[in-house]
Structure 1
Amino acid sequence: MISSLHPQIPIERRVLARALEPLRQHAGMDMGFGGPVRNGAVAMQITDLAGARTRSTVDLVVRNGEGLGGKALMLGRPVSVADYMAAEGITHVYDHAVRPEAIHTMAALPIIVDRTPRLLVYLAARTHVRLGDRWFDNFTPIVRRLEREIAIEDEVGRRLSLLSSTAESGQPGLTREDLIDIAHELAELADRIEDEALRARLQAVGYRVAPVTAATPDPQPPTMLRPREIDVLEQVARGLTNREVADALGLLPNTVKSYLKSAMHKLHVTNRVQAILAAQRLGLLS
């Protein structure tokens, strides 16, 4: 059975937890906060804070059309106010939560995937900050990256769900070639995930679901791997990150990375999962 990599943590929370503080620093703002959007765009709940003085906004549910965030959800685009407490054009039903933070300027940015809002991020300053088109344009690459991260994790979840449902049904369902294709796709998706721990676990899943391929001669016989390269591949196959491999083998993380790169070159492959599969076919892994 293939279990979820993070069954207890929603995709949106994982992405937000990684991105919120860097996003706040990039914006040069005093505070960042946000959370996942519910049921398309009915409401969102504030779950994560960065730079907060209090916890007055934690667990606050913001409904579509209400407050600055609700307006961003309703319009499906970023919105901002220069003076939150005096702002017209938004409702002030959440002033009780905002007031303790002494927020002055605030922007709300919806993160939209496949036309559906998935996250809402607030960036706020306790002084007046001019937020023009250039300021918002500066965030476009970051917003697009967050949207891609969520889309990638959606696809990973879909692939793992397919594998899990097939295993639970007790029916063949997927052919050997299907499993190989999925393993390679998981490896490619893993290479695009920034969370190192999640990337390593996903690569390990790809290794476990891929069947051992027949001993078809490689067009280029691989150069013999060094013992330390094999040691590193064995640890990676267990789902360890580079840092965890380094700790287990008494190496530096950069040394682990060098061994992996060298092993992939010798095995004529382009990612970690392919390297593990190739080494396993050659009988190099225990």
Structure 2
Amino acid sequence: MFFRWDWLRPVLTAPIVPTLGPVHPDALTVDVFEDVMRAAVTGDFLPYDKDRRWGGEKNETVLRGYVVHQPEQTLVPTLTRRGRGTVKVFAYGHHRRVVDEAAELAAKLAAAHDAANARVVRPLGPETAHPRGTRIQLKDFTTGPCPAPDGPVRPLPDWPAAVQETFAPFAAAMAADGLAFLHTQMQVGRCGPVLAVAVEDRIVGAIGSLEVRPDAIGRPQLMPQYFAVLPEARGQGLGRVLWRAAMHWGQSYGASYQLLQTEVGGPSDRLCQIEGLTSLGFSHTTQAQRAPRPLVTGGHCSDNN
């Protein structure tokens, strides 16, 4: 065993796991953290990793030799080689100095691995006053029905060909929301259904892909989607129609729940709050100043066997 659960559990203020992101509170176990550590050696996707559906290789891995695991804090650094490289340190702990220590470790590791970015990811509980960053929200499909909404929303292939052709420029316009990536995955057949809403024969919003997969404890989860509406089409309720259609799809295909990440105060965040989702906490990411010289040794590791 790498982690002591009696040390780790008290500092897990929000259900966030390095390299995996948010998980259902029931799946937040020491076994999941141990799985992540083993995956750092093999480089393989975990069976329940949400990124597995896109194929390829896992881009983010734990730097297990530099994990700090102590009674009052746990720091877990990860490295992403995408772009110019990013080191993130997940900072679990209640005391204020945990962020400073995480920032120092992130900066040193970024220099050691020639990564351009160094960041600290701080999980915060749902009771946090004046939260910033990303809110983690839970949609529980077992508490009641999700009826099919009225409105101009259909699976993309059900629209006329001329309307379907407008998806490409829509996706390009909403690249910052992940729609260009989604479009690429659609073209190579790596994703499930995508729902689209059209106005005057033009796609103005979409959500997808829609897939249900088992989580770490075998419960069926509606996987996260990319979701966007063109700015000029907002304020007409189209986002709510799309989201409700996706929730209806998920419940219809047997999902028990979905986890959503929304920017605090953003349109999706307000929508989820209006829809009555449960807030599980927050993830706040800050930049760390990269150190001028590399880290010499990996003396931070505490392996509890």
TM-score by length of 2: 0.23
Higher relative strand content: 2
From the CA coordinates, give the structure whose radius of gyration is larger. 1
Task: Compare relative contact order (CA 8 Å, sep 6+) and give the higher one, 1 or 2.
Answer: 2
Higher relative helix content: 1
